[in-house]
Structure 1
């Protein structure tokens, strides 16, 4: 499984995998290895007694003794499987106990071999079957494999040394060297599968975490979009309300312009006309002065009305000067 680079987080796949906690990937590893180790235990329970056929060929005189030993190993493995399930022990116990017992069983069998090298070769191949089976089903750290191998090596060497018909000079040429090579191959293969499985689990967890973070960011983006949508709707409502207010003000201005241009303009024009008529009469000096002031005020009022009308038509605010206001007072 490949972990692609996610530009949202600016982090490399290696850094994402390195951030996976040990507890999470170990739990996943336990689930994955548990399937293999349960299968290995059941294969040991069922097949180990069947290998008594090879004992009948290699050690005919003592084969039944070894058969009882094989049956005992199967029963112990079955009991160990039940105990591990009951106590929820790590799956390494499920595979480790039968592997170690069968290895010790095979080492013990060297004690009964005679001086027939054919039987030695056959038993070495029988031992290889166990090693190959372990390489196929066992999934754990190399340290556990090393412990089993060390115990098996010393036990095998002990029983070969105690068998007067066997020696290391006979053991290695008759399948012993190949057995050592297969054992090393088992150690390398189990560790390789272990490393690949751990890497795959870490990558899968890192990708899952990355997807969850992307989903979380998408949810946050959706929430922000909802907020922005609400703001936009509110702005549209405000604009609509403001537009209605402006329309009302424009209508009021239009009405005011009409009033200013017709209803207010007409009395001013009448006042100006009356002033002109009064001027044509015989007036004394004081009256003429008052009429002049009245004429000046009427002209200013007319100018103000005209300026208001023009300002409304242009859309500008009308600003009356203080001098004009004071003149009108």
Structure 2
């Protein structure tokens, strides 16, 4: 074997090629396979969202103008110590981040629940019954995918006003279509299984077959889709709040905080960096966890990427 041939070979470690992989790629691969760090971060975030606002050091809606635009780890004129600094109104950024985490996660969670119920139901009905029902639901999903979500959000906000209910409806409308197609494909496979045919021969009706044989078979798939989609919903909520179509000031949602801080980007970078980093960390952690759940619960969903 020539030296050039030997140099072209990639050493194998643990059955996988590793030496040709860069450091960031190895770190990415490690986090996807062993998501302990993302899972720990999300656990801390959920705890912070649940009890953090109770222990927020300062009021989120009231500030002291004498302490406005203080950098992180600064002590104000009033003697208050601000770990993450203050905003243009002298409000504590850390307190607003803690309160904003509850708002952001609650909105994403509620809209995801609605999306799961609607999308899974339509996917099961479409895949199991087929025929004209399947055709109508499939075409409806195709049309919905062709519509830009931001335009829909702006139109609904213009018609119905800016409120939490409208935001939840918009986000639910974003999430439901992602469930329909994949759940439908899963049901198309499940309904042809031998145990489903045996249930039909035994005289089981559609309702019993759906509840006993079809729905349990799609739980893992729905869980994986939900874990992958929730990060997108958080990002969508932040985007809508940033452009003024979501949560409105002075409510300390993360998107609102980024929007309020953009005018001070050159002089008070932390007003954008802190909520922006929070959004990034949550979304990337959810993506890692979603990939891990997909590989463990339903490897056939790798095609989602």
- What is the TM-score of this pair, normalised by structure 2? 0.26
Higher relative CO (Cα under 8 Å, sequence separation at least 6) belongs to 2
**Which structure has the larger Rg over C-alpha atoms?**
1
If each structure's helix is expressed as a fraction of its own residues, which one has the higher value?
1
- What is the TM-score of this pair, normalised by structure 1? 0.24
